[in-house]
Amino acid sequence: MSRQHQIAVDMIDSRFTQLNAGSTSAQLHAETSMAYEMAHSLGAIDNREYGHYKARHNRIIEIQHQELMQKLESYR
């Protein structure tokens, strides 16, 4: 694993750690997306890793949206 790859993976994973801890910050979601998009465009991660990160991020977004909808429904 190259140094560039390790730096990119660490940067991306640190953002996923925050998202998995429950952060719903729009800024953090933007940073997460930007981290894996830039790493891919610079060749630091390959297509398989990029697809994995994108799918993982989409799953987190879906879960957070479902949780928000459940909270909103409970206020009815």
DSSP letter string, 1-43: --HHHHHHHHHHHHHHHHHHTT---HHHHHHHHHHHHHHHHTT
Expressed as residue numbers, the domain containing 26 is 3-74
Tell me: the pLDDT tens digits for 17-75?
999 999 999 999 999 999 999 999 999 999 999 999 999 999 999 999 999 999 999 98
* Mean predicted confidence (pLDDT) in 1-14: 96
Confirm if 15 and 31 have CB atoms less than 8 A apart: yes
Domain count, the chain: 1
pTM of this structure: 0.90
Q: What does the alpha-carbon distance between residue 5 and residue 60 come to, in Å, rounded to a whole number? A: 23
